[in-house]
Amino acid sequence: MANKENHQSISASDMPGDAYVLIVRDGHILVESGNADAIFPCASDFITDITKLNRAEYLGICVGSPFYCLSFEDDITVPENTEFRNMWELLFHIDESLINTVFKAVHIAHWLRHSRFCGVCGNPTVKSDTERARVCKSCGSIIFPRISPAVILAIVWNDRLLLAHNRQFAEGQYSLIAGFVEPGETFEETARREAFEETGVRIKNIKYFGSQPWPFPDSMMIGLTAEYDEGEITPDGMEIDNAKWFRAEDLPSFPGNVSIAGKLIEWFAHNSGAQNGEN
């Protein structure tokens, strides 16, 4: 059921001055200039554009303060001493208690930017008064935020973990096999298909590990663990150009634990160490 209070249109005059406003533009987010940590502007910083905050989407209460988000438009004047910084650069400078709220803002801002017009009749959409949605007054279409499920796999063979190098990665950096769920697939079917398509191996004993919103631009990552069953590693040569088995003590550079990929790899390293009698 929709939380109507959380999704109602917001009057700029009712928005608390100390509410944080996360403004997103093409994978960049507005933060205070000259500070390594991510410090976000408040509603009171937008005095000259206060009425334009009516477009804001409410994100909820985090660390005791209300948060809102906007997709950046050219008519918004950003406050002095702020700058747009790339989200990838900021990932490790955002307080852990804020990370999901920031991810939510990036996801919703992307949706706002891409749902200004109806995909059925082409007319402008408006904000729903009752739920997180855009509504076309002309044909009645309702546009909800898109969520694209994808699986990410920790494939283990005895004391080794399968990691792959994507062509887009920096040299020497590896991560886990991952891929989007196709229509009609279960998560387990996606896992088997992606493992075989990308590396040529077959897997068994698939188990759920956890999930994480990953708004680049609108994914929901489903973390799974699995055991190697059979097959020789054969990278697909298109997305994956190298894949190897790694022991815990020989792990290459991999994503930090701000991502579920990093958490899965750390899970493997911890379990591998425990099995070998390490603390």
Alpha carbon of residue 174 to chain centroid: 19
**33's tokens:** 């200039």
pLDDT of 276: 56
What span, in angstroms and rounded, lies between the C-alpha atoms of 56 and 69? 5
H-type alpha helices, the chain: 4-7, 87-90, 99-114, 187-199, 260-275
Q: How far apart are CA 30 and CA 49, in angstroms?
A: 15
If one compares 167 and 255, the residue with the highest pLDDT of the two is 167
Distance CA 48, CA 233 (A): 59
- What is the model's pLDDT at position 5? 45
Q: Is the pLDDT of residue 164 over 80?
A: yes
How does pLDDT run across 166-189, given as a tens digit for each residue?
A: 999 989 999 999 999 999 999 999
Angle at 109 between CA 104 and CA 115, to 5 degrees: 125
Tell me the pTM: 0.86
Looking at residue 27, its amino acid is: G
Residue 219 backbone phi and psi in degrees, to 5: -85, 155
What value, to the nearest 5°, has the Cα angle with vertex 69 and ends 66 and 75?
A: 130
List, in order, residues 6 or more apart from 274 with CB less than 8 Å away.
none
Q: In the chain, what is the greatest distance between 2 CA atoms, to the nearest angstrom?
A: 66
Delimit the CATH 3.90.79.10 region(s) of the chain. 148-275
* DSSP reduced 3-state for 14: helix
What confidence category does residue 95 fall into, taking pLDDT thresholds of 50, 70 and 90?
confident
Give the confidence band of 194 by pLDDT, cuts at 50, 70, 90: very high
Q: Which of 246, 237, 259, 226 is nearest to 162 (CA)?
A: 246
> How far, in Å, CA of 126 to CA of 112, rounded?
10
What CATH number does the domain located at 4-114 have?
3.90.79
Class assignment of domain 148-275? Answer: alpha beta
Tell me the pLDDT band of 12, cut-offs 50, 70 and 90.
Answer: low
